[in-house]
Structure 1
Amino acid sequence: MFLQMQAFEQSLTELIKTSLKKNRLNIYRKLLNFIAFCDGINHCLPRITNICSSKDKKYGQGTLLRHFSKWVFLNVDPPTLPEIQNNLDNIAIAVKEKCVSGSSVVKVSTLLWKPNGRQWSPVGNVTENGKIYPTFVAPLFPNTKYILNGRKLKIGVMEWGQFCKLTTSTNGSIMYSHVCKDLFDILGEYLNFTYELIEPPDQSWGELTETWSGLLGMVERNELDLSGIPYGLNLKKSKSFTFSSILDKTECEFVYKKLSTNDNHWMLLVSVFKWKVYVCGLLTMVWCIALYSLIERHSVGDQHAEISACPPSTSESVMAAVRVPLHQGSLHLPQSRSGRIVYASWWMFCITIVAVYTGNLVAIMSVVKDRRPFKTMGELAENEDFKIILRKGSSFEDLFKNSNDSVSKKIWTKVLGTRSANIQNSLDEDHHYKMLLQTGSYAFMTGSATADSLETTFNNLRRMKCGFGPLYLGLPFPLNSPLAEIFSDKLIRLYDNGVLEALTRKWYNTQREEYVPARPKIDISNLRSVWVMCATGITVSFVMLGLECLLNYR
């Protein structure tokens, strides 16, 4: 009980601060019930309610007293509607009036929200003896079932992957589509509110220096009721904001440009096999030539034949072996059975090797292969050819910046080495990072949702997971905002009902297909090694011709 307004204001302030620390809807509804006796006090109702509204805006995030407090004013003169400048939802008055018969009756009315403003609506009458007559025709506080009662919320947004996309912005109005638009339309219908989408003037997601900047800074300063874009939950943000229930989760990934293995056209013909295969094949050919020549010269066949066959020379034995992989016949055929077995074995060996070589050469020229420059985060940290880029203010920034792990420290050092001081906002930063990503020497550390969006934009990207657990996302509200609890309750229901999953399926391409680029037509650059081989053969033949002419001249 308070007899002075100053004591009432002080107590009300403490009550608001205490209630917000509880951060529970049922506690709000139990603590914030008031009865005011206004007998002999001029303008009692406007004075008290205006004080409550100002305290609510200053300490209660503009929500606590507005939606959860209940006020009953007794022995009050009904104020005119223009005198009521507050936005408290639940106000009822009891006015004593005399009837014609001389008896007194107390008429109870409640203040409703109507399309054309606020109006008093009769609830029922109470006689002097305390009996209710007639029974109440309406609830005393009917606005409680409408939750936010048509309140217009300010929601901060920016374009973010497939979750929120800017569709049009004309005459200062901002229009967004995809998940964020559908989600707040559904929540607005459930919680009975309208909303206005607002972009941060600096077009920044927000990072902490002395205070928060960007979108998060507007939420912290109560310029926005909430952020329409989910942020990762961490200790630093939890000290400045109250988060809703988990809306989604994301995993840390590195995105980089695919690297092709078909860049070295000069070595195309010899890149089919590894060098060990060529060495073993050459040794096998030398062994077969030597064995074939030895068998044919020292044949143990019929020594009494009428016409003895002339054994092949060394050059004929070499050419006989070389003609086999070229599918050419030989002028000399083996005479002995053992020689024929060696010759047949060499044929089967060459048929197999040529078939494998031809098939692999066709595959190399027909299919673009990708090679992975790194397979783990540790290999990326040691890779000198790749630099790492990370968006400022990202939730992953805190994980690597404050980590004691040696690999994470190396990753953070590479991140700092690629940051530019000339970038002013997050949109320019995203555009800059996309350009760097296409150069082929940068790995972009981001969440899986952003990686999905980049894959739909660029078809030449490859992804690698960071290797640690998922990061959970929630909608940030001002610290201790009662709206967070209201939204969390409905978001949990939407999750249980499958609505959030349906919105994700609607706007996200959940079935990622591996992009296989079409191989362009083969041109001269793909056959450089063939031309080199041909030119080398012609050059050698001219050299040999010159040597022969020189020897014949002498």
Structure 2
Amino acid sequence: MSTKEKDDSLVVDNGSYQYHMLFDNHTRLIVTIFDEPFMMLKKIPNDTLTERNIPRGTILDPSRVEGFCVDLAYAVCHDRLKLPYKFLIETKYGKEVEKGVWDGMIGALVNREADLAIASLTINGEREKAVDFSKPFIDLGISIMISKPEKQKPGVFSFMDPLSKQIWMWVIVSYLFVSGILFLISRFSSYEWYFENEWDLIPRNKFSLHNALFFSFAAFMHQGVDLLPRSISGRVVTSAWWFFSLILVSSYTANLAAFLTVEKLVPPIATVEELAKQTDILYGTLKGGSTMAFFNKSTLTTFKIMWNFMQQHKDDVFVSSNSEGIEKVRGSKGKFAFLLESTLNEYVNERAPCDTMRIGENIDSKGYGIATPLGSDLREALNIAVLQLTENEFLERLKQRWYYERSQCTNSGSKDSKQTTPLNLANVAGMFYVLIIGLGSAMVIAFIEFLFKAKLDSKRLNQNIREVMRRNLRISITGIDFDEKLHKEEYLPLKQQQLVTSSPPSSRNIHRNERTPTIANKFNLTKINNDKDDIFRGHKLNHVFHV
């Protein structure tokens, strides 16, 4: 028979489910279990009631408890289903004792002692045969917990840490490739060839191979140089390289401060595969739990290896409770890893003394669901309610509230929780794409310039365009075609050089010493300048003429 205490919020249950419904014909009983942060007893001053001394079968008013599942029950039963409810406390999740006989929360539903179960109750195949589950209200999986390793101080070459080795390699390749493209374009473009003065026999090109390498390096280091390309194609290459350098250097600088000031945590293992391959670190699970059953039944090679390893060390790795496993991790100094559900792993990592951490991704995928007896009239309504709460992100806000807003490691662990990681190729792939597009565009423009120059030369010299292109290509590779230029009288530098060398020394001295030219000399200079303009058809700037 049920007895009601002086406090209306607490009822000790010794009777049947039918009696509870007589007690309040419209009240639904929600069976649950104390499990932080899902279901916790509210702390009231001068109250001697604790979670440990509350017996199984106790009925609690919602005002006496708090937690993730308490807020979820209020949102589902009160806000959407408009049902009054109370909580029925159980001490076990439930397993099949014998054929068709269950204990714990599953047993309460099978025996119709409760209307629904809202707790950290995992959905699995065996339980689905005994009760109905709603859609998962929280997703989880098996995860790995280890103790936090000691922090490592920055090393001598920590300045290279902001970028991964892959990016450093591609930056060097890009630097050499850009320098080579700039050198080739400057050779093919007629705008990069020039005569430094009127008497030069050989045209000059500033972008030799070593100058191209120096220019690219100086641009990457944001240093100014006297070398600047004149052709459109050369300027396109330079612009793309400047953009690439700006983004890369800015990203590197932004990440460098964090690497030099934050002491990094380097765990001994990073994935479940690494854990399975080594033997120095022991690992185990909760004895008789769903995690242990998962490894026992798994057919994957990695999990088989892990299960065999745990069987060999079963006296040291299997624990009787999650709290025992967590304490074992804290006292092992990195020599024990505990396999547990990710929800508990995340929550413990946010609680003092903040000395544990989660590594790797979840090993499997499952979820917590709201359970009801088979054929319950609440099943469809509960499914709709859970879907609506998922869509409006109410469940995500609940997790944020009970996991992270109440974190005890916010100040001490904020830096640890936000570990700086090197930028990889995926983070900065865009600037490489821009550089590749710029180099490709520059090569196309350089080819168009080459064709355009060949067409102009073929018209001016009245020659076949293929011959002109062949000659210009030879000139671009070797410099100047002397054999051809020596036979052309209108080639100004050779003509002037021949005039100077053929004149007697006395006349050359006279010309060198005279400051004021005569009328004849002025006429000759004017004629020479006119001839020069006809030949070069270019601009004269500071005594520098383009070919």
Q: TM above 0.5, one fold?
A: no
Higher helix share: 2
Higher strand share: 1
TM-score normalized with structure 2 length = 0.43
Q: Which has the higher contact order (CA 8 A, sep 6+)?
A: 2
